Amino acid sequence: MPRFTLRQLEYFQTAARIGSFAGAAAELHVSATAVAAAVGDLERALGVQLCLRHKAQGITLSTTGLWLLGEISPLLADAVEIERAVVSTDGVLRGPVAIGCYSTMAPSVIPELAAGFQAQHPDVELTFFDGSADQLLDQLWAGRLDVVITYRLGLPDGLDEAKLFDTGVNVLLAADHALASASTVRLTDLAAEPFIMLDLAPGGRHNLEILSAANVTPQIRHRSSNVELVRSMVARGLGYSLLVHRPHNDRSYEGLPLVSLPIGPEPVAVSAVIVWPAAVRLTRRARAVVEFAQRTLIYPPRSAQVAPRVS
């Protein structure tokens, strides 16, 4: 049997993250002496030095300490899940699930999950974060997110995924654009026009690749990571854009009409997926979120049906 305890690992993990025994003690609601003693006992049990103590300056981890910190995070998470599983003998899902969602999808995806999933599993505590795929994947690798909903565009190795739906890249035009009544749009027909670029990874990179494949050098007039700003600028006639996710409402934030048309002659297909690290075993709660998302998230997004208030 191991000569160390989960409590010692927890104290070491907290001290390593914060950088001091005193800071860890404040978070854990114990004394700094208790944290220092637990880390010392852990070092003696393992026969190694895990951290260097600096008087009045906290601690720094040794090479072994850095390695151990990466190894114990899943172990402590599994211990928490074992406790929850034993307590939840009634089969009710309980506990937190942190979900990341690519920003352009978030307004259509997050409300559906928040309302629909929590109606079925009210004891699960969902938290949501949106941002670029790069930002969300960094949080996923760091263990701060359980799953990420994004597009299958340039995803790194080491991820497991579940497919949600297929969509495509659309050309976004103002309603009074000369091509607005077409069934499809060739990118070469827009080559001389200003391009309003959604500069939110991986969308920006992907759009530039699409334009390059069509032998179009975009005349970039404006860049923004805010999809609503991009849509509003297009609606004002300041240029065209390329967007993957099409909102249910074909109007800009200002209420001006927009037109989304597929790229011709060959549409550019993209899949929406929910991903998690392949080396991580999903909790029952997170697995339930994945399965719910596969059943309920569709494209194009449905109109929200809100029951009338009873006065």
Query: Which residues, at least 6 apart from 166, have a Cβ–Cβ distance to it below 8 Å?
Result: 269, 270, 271, 272, 299
Instruction: Please check whether residues 141 and 100 belong to one and the same domain.
Output: yes
Residue 27 domain flag: yes
Percent of all residues in the chain with a pLDDT value above 70, rounded to a whole number: 92
Residue 206 domain flag: yes
Closest to 285 measured CA to CA, from 93, 143, 120: 93
Q: Strands, E, within 3-146: which ranges? A: 51-54, 58-61, 95-102, 124-131
Residue that finishes a domain, picked among 70, 87, 104: 87
Helix (H) / strand (E) containing 261: strand 258-264
Residue 25 domain flag: yes
Output the domain CATH number for residue 261: 3.40.190.10
Instruction: Please check whether residues 155 and 280 belong to one and the same domain.
Output: yes
Instruction: Please check whether residues 130 and 201 belong to one and the same domain.
Output: no
Instruction: Please check whether residues 203 and 71 belong to one and the same domain.
Output: no
Percent of all residues in the chain with a pLDDT value above 90, rounded to a whole number: 67
Closest to 193 measured CA to CA, from 208, 212, 173, 210: 173
At residue 74, the pLDDT reads 77
Domain span at residue 245?
Answer: 170-267
Closest to 105 measured CA to CA, from 82, 87, 131: 131
Give mean pLDDT, residues 166-182. Answer: 93
pLDDT grade for 87, boundaries at 50, 70 and 90: low
Residue 44 domain flag: yes
- The answer on pLDDT for 85 being more than 80 is no
Output the domain CATH number for residue 33: 1.10.10.10
Instruction: Please check whether residues 153 and 281 belong to one and the same domain.
Output: yes
Residue pair 257/212 in contact (Cβ under 8 Å)? The answer is: no
At residue 72, the pLDDT reads 87
At residue 84, the pLDDT reads 65
Q: What are phi and psi of 273, to 5 degrees?
A: -140, 160
Instruction: Please check whether residues 38 and 55 belong to one and the same domain.
Output: yes
Identify residue 306 by its one-letter amino acid code.
V
- The answer on pLDDT for 308 being more than 60 is no
How many structural domains is the chain composed of?
3
At residue 269, the pLDDT reads 85
At residue 51, the pLDDT reads 92
At residue 310, the pLDDT reads 43
Question: For residues 26 and 204, what is the distance between their CA atoms, to the nearest angstrom?
Answer: 43
Residue 198 domain flag: yes
pLDDT grade for 108, boundaries at 50, 70 and 90: confident
At residue 167, the pLDDT reads 87
Residue 307 domain flag: no
Instruction: Please check whether residues 83 and 21 belong to one and the same domain.
Output: yes
Lowest mean pLDDT among 22-36, 88-102, 118-132: 88-102
Angle 167-294-297 from CA coordinates, rounded to 5°:
55
